[in-house]
């Protein structure tokens, strides 16, 4: 049956299927022997994803003092925020006790506003941080096992990487989104096991190439799409080694104008080459885009190793029997309506940033290290049977939590994720703004927050981007002391030495856009988390595709695509 999305401004209808209901039944929590039904979603898939990601500041970093040591640090909390913020090392130490902030639940008020008031009273970690310490990588968030990295987010195990988002095992990569085991890649989106690849997307096992799309196992190729195991191809035409090298010599330069022209030419060429309706590898009975090794999963996007999961996004590591989860997985099971949970999480509902072997934690933030049976808690580790950070006995917990759930059922909060009006960040600081951009006015009209704080940029010279020399090699080293005004957003940004060295070494131009703008540009090369009905451009069979019907690409079904590439 079709339902209307509860958000008045959305006006989309959506369906809650029998399979959804069966999953909600599977996900019901049992507390003190009592089973609590989960209500059907009230919002459409996009609004649910927007609501979860409106809590997720992954990429906005600021300088501010630590409220414990008073020393300056890098934080996801701008200095104008009302929260108490501790350096991550202090926060994870025994120098303070989160249980000290415990308070009783007030049954005369709804859950969400009092929980967010309570959150304001508990010290928060300066950056979202899991696992062992990162080395020389302060200007990063939401990662672990980094070495010498700068402005990279949402990933693990990287070395000498700058300006990236979502990655596993990358080395010497700059300006990227979704890289998996890559080295020396530049301006790449969704690439796997690639080496020395530039301006490319959706490639696997490619090397020493430029401007590729949907290629596998290619090397020394330029401006190609849908090729397999090729060498010395230019715009999908086979050339000799000599011809290829002559072409590269003529084209490859660090000229900004030349690279812009080549980008345009390649995009125009790509439009003449078919794309597969949805991308994915080794999936069984699964529906979604950019899936790999998924089984029985439905309406999932950018996920790997998902089993029997529904409406999940960016879960790059294994998860099972989960629904409505954005980021990340890694042995996660039976979780519902959460954002950024993973590493052995089980039985989580309505959580944000609950990680590392937590089980049966409900409506909590920033809890980790084997917590179990928590409700409405903030910043706990190795704790159990707590409500609003107050310690209870198992018996007390199992009596009080059912009462709170019934209270939340009455206030219609039960089963919903925290509303954006209570987010810890301005909407424009969160991933929701990347996926569903809004203007400040639209945002305020919905009662959501906006962050106007602008960090000052110090520089000896402020230069508009179009006044930079066209060739990177003509830019003096002194650029490291300048602020460049982004040609699109007008925001000033700086260049770091390692980055400049990378551009020079790889003969690519100096950027004229702010790192956040570059991130937005790259993100715009990804399709939305949505499937549309369309016809295969070759056999006219109905297909589900992430390419909306108004887009100009030649979208084909899996069979027609395979017939083209092999
Ligand atoms: Zn909606
Ligand atoms: Zn077809």
Helix (H) or strand (E) holding 321: none
Quote the pLDDT of residue 132: 61
Distance 507 CA to ligand 1 centre (A): 45
| Amino acid 252: pLDDT | 82
Ligand with the closest atom to the CA of 539:
2
- pLDDT tens-digit series, residues 452-505: 998 888 888 999 999 999 998 899 999 999 999 999 999 999 999 999 999 999
Domain boundaries, the chain: 2-44, 193-276, 298-410, 461-523, 532-565
* Sheet strand arrangement including 323-329: 323-329, 336-342, 352-355, 365-367
CA dist., res. 367 & res. 353, Å (int)? 7
Ligand nearest to the CA of 276: 2
Going from the Cα of 539 to the center of ligand 2, the distance in angstroms, rounded, reads: 4
C-beta of residue 385 within 8 angstroms of C-beta of residue 393:
yes
- Confirm or reject CATH 2.160.10 for domain 298-410, answering yes or no: yes
Burial class (CB in 10 A: 0-12, 13-18, 19+), 477: exposed
Place 117 in a pLDDT band, splitting at 50, 70 and 90: very high
**C-alpha of residue 431 to centroid of ligand 1, in Å:** 17
- Compute the mean pLDDT over every residue in the chain, rounded to the nearest whole number: 95
CA of 536 to the centre of ligand 2 (A): 5
Residues 510/475, Cβ–Cβ less than 8 Å: yes
Q: Cα 434 to chain center, whole Å?
A: 9
User: pLDDT (tens digit, 9 = 90+) per residue, 550-561?
Assistant: 999 999 999 999
How many A from CA of 18 to the centre of ligand 1? 20
CB contact at 8 A, 62 and 72:
no
Give distance in angstroms: CA of 54 to centre of ligand 1.
14
- Cβ-in-10-Å burial (0-12, 13-18, 19+) of 193 comes to middle
Whole-angstrom distance, CA of residue 484 vs CA of residue 524: 23
C-beta atoms surrounding 212 within 10 Å: 30
**Residues that place a CB less than 5 A from ion ligand 1:** 5, 7, 10, 12, 44, 47
Ligand 1 centre to CA of 427 (Å) is: 17
CB 195 within 8 A of CB 208: yes
The sign of the dihedral angle between the CA atoms of 147, 152, 157, 161 is negative
Q: DSSP per residue over 65-90, as a string?
A: E-TTT--EEEESS-TTSSS-EE-HHH
Q: Indicate the burial class of 223 (C-beta count within 10 angstroms; 0-12, 13-18, 19 or more).
A: buried
Q: What share of the chain is helix, strand, coil (3-state, %, to 5)?
A: 25, 35, 45
351 neighbors 338 (Cβ within 8 angstroms): yes
| Token pair in block for residue 328 | 């990340």
Helix (H) or strand (E) holding 105: none
- pLDDT given at position 538: 96
Ligand nearest to the CA of 43: 1
Q: At what angle do helices 111-121 and 394-410 cross, to 10 degrees?
A: 130
Between the CA of 518 and the centroid of ligand 1 the distance, in Å, is: 28
pLDDT digits (tens, 9 = 90+) for 291-347: 999 999 999 999 999 999 999 999 988 999 999 999 999 999 999 999 999 999 999
Full 3-state SS string of 14-39 = EECCHHHHHHHHHCCCEECCEECCCC
For residue 535 the two structure tokens come to 């016809």
Residue 169 has pLDDT above 80, yes or no: yes
Predicted confidence (pLDDT) at residue 376 exceeds the cutoff of 80: yes
Nearest Cα residue to 61 out of 51, 52, 72, 69 = 72
Q: Which ligand is nearest to the CA of 48?
A: 1
């Amino acid at each position: 049956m079709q339902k209307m999305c509860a958000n008045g401004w959305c006006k989309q209808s959506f369906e809650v299927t029998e399979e959804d209901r069966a999953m909600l039944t599977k996900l019901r929590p049992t507390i003190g022997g009592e089973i609590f039904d989960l209500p059907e979603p009230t919002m459409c898939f996009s609004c649910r994803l927007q609501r979860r990601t409106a809590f997720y500041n992954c990429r906005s970093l600021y300088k501010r003092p630590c409220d414990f040591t008073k020393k300056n640090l890098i934080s996801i909390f701008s200095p104008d925020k009302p929260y108490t913020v501790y350096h991550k090392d202090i926060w994870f130490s025994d120098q303070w006790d989160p249980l000290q902030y415990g308070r009783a639940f007030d049954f005369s008020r709804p859950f969400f506003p009092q929980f967010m008031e309570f959150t304001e009273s508990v010290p928060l970690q300066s950056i979202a941080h899991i696992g062992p310490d990162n080395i020389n990588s302060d200007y990063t968030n939401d990662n672990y096992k980094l070495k010498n990295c700068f402005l990279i987010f949402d990933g693990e195990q990287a070395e000498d990487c700058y300006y990236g988002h979502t990655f596993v095992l990358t080395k010497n990569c700059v300006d990227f989104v979704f890289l998996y085991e890559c080295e020396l890649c530049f301006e790449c989106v969704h690439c796997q096991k690639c080496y020395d690849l530039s301006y490319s997307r959706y490639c696997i096992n490619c090397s020493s190439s430029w401007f590729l799309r949907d290629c596998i196992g290619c090397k020394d190729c330029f401006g190609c799409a849908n090729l397999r195991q090729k060498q010395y191809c230019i715009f999908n035409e086979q050339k000799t080694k000599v011809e290829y090298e002559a072409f590269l010599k003529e084209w490859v330069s660090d000229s900004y104008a030349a690279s812009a022209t080549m980008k345009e030419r390649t995009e125009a060429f790509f439009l003449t080459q078919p794309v597969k309706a949805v991308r994915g590898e080794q999936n069984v009975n699964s529906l979604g885009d950019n899936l790999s090794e998924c089984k029985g999963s439905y309406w999932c996007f950018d996920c790997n190793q998902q089993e029997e999961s529904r409406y999940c996004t960016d879960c790059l590591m294994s998860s099972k029997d989960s629904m409505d989860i954005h980021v990340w997985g890694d042995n996660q099971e039976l979780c519902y309506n959460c954002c950024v949970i993973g590493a052995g999480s089980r039985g989580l509902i309505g959580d944000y940033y609950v990680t590392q072997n937590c089980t049966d934690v409900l409506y909590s933030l920033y809890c980790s290290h084997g917590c179990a049976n928590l409700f409405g808690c903030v910043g706990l580790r190795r704790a159990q049977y707590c409500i609003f950070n107050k310690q209870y006995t198992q018996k007390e917990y199992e009596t009080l939590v059912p009462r709170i759930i019934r209270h939340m059922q009455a206030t219609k909060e039960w089963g919903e994720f925290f509303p954006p009006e209570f987010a810890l960040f301005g909407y424009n600081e969160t991933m929701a703004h990347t996926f569903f951009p809004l203007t400040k006015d639209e945002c305020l009209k919905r009662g959501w927050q906006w962050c106007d704080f602008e960090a000052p940029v110090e520089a000896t010279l402020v230069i508009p981007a179009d006044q930079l020399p066209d060739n990177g090699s003509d830019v003096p080293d002194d650029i490291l002391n300048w602020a460049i005004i982004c040609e699109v957003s007008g925001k000033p940004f700086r260049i770091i030495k390692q980055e400049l060295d990378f551009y020079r070494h790889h003969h690519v131009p100096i950027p004229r856009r702010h790192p956040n703008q570059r991130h937005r540009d790259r993100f715009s090369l990804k399709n939305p988390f949505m499937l549309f009905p369309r016809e295969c451009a070759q056999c006219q069979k109905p297909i589900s595709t992430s390419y909306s019907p108004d887009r100009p690409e030649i979208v084909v079904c899996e069979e027609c695509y395979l017939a083209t590439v092999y």
